[in-house]
């Protein structure tokens, strides 16, 4: 299994190098970084049908809100029966409560491939030369702590990370404001007696608007190549959700998985 994985990583490394060669006339020293962004865009295009299906599922669940409200009144004193009734309603209407998770789950392998590729000094028994490739002054195999140790916060490498942090913070703020607006546009399904509808819903509703800012932590601790994937994917998700949920100004759309 180890030899098979090593061979697969060699093929993946070759793919990244080939993309970088194609982009070299346009991006020169940062061609590999551009290849990672292009790779991320291709992954997101492949996952887009799942994102569209997730949006349809969220809208379908939003239409069930009146029926769920009736179930809350009917089973207000019996949380277990309420949860069973809600799940049965979802099954009857062929709506999956977990459909919003699929886009994120299908992206995990691509993220971990990049993480592994730029975390190892050798691939398939050969030296991993991709680690020496850079985004401007910052090595793609380096981390923020490496940048701080080599020039400090405002050094040549540090400035690259500051730019990524600024982009992530901008996207996170956009998501935060949009989520807050959506949650304010309609009563939360967990309000009042409805808190029993799904354990932890009230807490999740409070925490959800802040989740986008967790990307800042991810960018700070993973190799720069993996950070590029996260930043590109997060920015794509923000634009994608704004389009897919533009006609759904309510809490259900806000609770869509970030993907």
What's the pLDDT score for residue 118? 96
DSSP letter for each residue of 65-89: HHHHHHHHHHTTT-HHHHHHHHHHH
219 is a domain residue: yes
Q: Residue 55 and residue 27: Cα distance in Å, rounded?
A: 35
Going residue by residue through the chain (259 aa), what tens digit of pLDDT does each one get? 578 888 899 999 999 999 999 999 999 999 999 999 999 999 999 999 988 888 887 777 777 778 888 888 888 878 888 888 888 877 776 666 666 677 788 889 999 999 999 999 999 888 999 998 999 999 999 999 999 999 999 999 999 999 999 999 999 999 888 877 766 654 444 444 344 444 455 555 566 667 778 899 999 999 999 999 999 999 999 999 889 888 765 444 444 444 5
85 is a domain residue: no
What's the pLDDT score for residue 92? 77
What's the pLDDT score for residue 257? 42
Note the Cα 64 to chain centre separation in Å: 27
What's the pLDDT score for residue 100? 62
Least Cα distance to 198 among 72, 60, 55 occurs for: 72
167 is a domain residue: yes
What's the pLDDT score for residue 183? 64
Task: Check: CB of residue 20 under 8 Å from CB of residue 133.
Answer: yes
The range of the structural domain enclosing residue 187 comes to 2-59+100-254
82 is a domain residue: no
The domain tally of the chain equals 1
68 is a domain residue: no
pTM score of the predicted model: 0.81
DSSP strand pairing (138-139 vs 122-123): unpaired
Element of type H or E holding 198: none
199 is a domain residue: yes
176 is a domain residue: yes
Reading phi first (left if > 0) and then psi (alpha if -120 to 50, else beta), residue 78 is in beta
75 is a domain residue: no
């Amino acid at each position: 299994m180890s030899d098979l994985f090593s061979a697969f990583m060699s093929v993946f490394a070759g793919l990244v190098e080939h993309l970088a060669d194609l982009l070299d006339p346009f991006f020169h020293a940062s061609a590999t970084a551009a290849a990672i962004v292009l790779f991320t865009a291709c992954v997101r295009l492949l996952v887009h049908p799942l994102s569209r299906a997730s949006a349809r599922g969220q809208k379908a669940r939003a239409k069930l809100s009146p029926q769920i409200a009736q179930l809350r009144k009917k089973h207000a004193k019996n949380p277990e029966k309420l949860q069973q009734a809600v799940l049965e309603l979802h099954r009857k209407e062929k709506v999956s409560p977990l459909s919003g998770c699929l886009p994120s789950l299908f992206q995990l392998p691509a993220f971990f491939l990049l993480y592994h590729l730029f975390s190892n000094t050798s691939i398939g028994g050969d030296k991993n030369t991709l680690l020496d490739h850079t985004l401007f002054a910052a090595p793609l195999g380096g981390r923020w702590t490496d940048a701080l140790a080599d020039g400090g916060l405002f050094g040549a490498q540090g400035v690259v990370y500051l730019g990524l942090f600024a982009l992530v913070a901008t996207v996170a703020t956009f998501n935060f404001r949009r989520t807050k607006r959506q949650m304010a546009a309609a009563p939360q399904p967990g309000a009042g007696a409805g808190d029993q509808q799904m354990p932890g819903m009230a807490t999740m509703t409070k925490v959800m608007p802040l989740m986008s800012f967790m990307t800042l932590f991810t960018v700070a601790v993973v190799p720069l190549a993996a950070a590029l994937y996260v930043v590109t994917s997060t920015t794509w998700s923000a634009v994608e959700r704004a389009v897919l949920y533009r006609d759904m100004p309510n809490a259900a759309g806000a609770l869509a998985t970030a993907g």
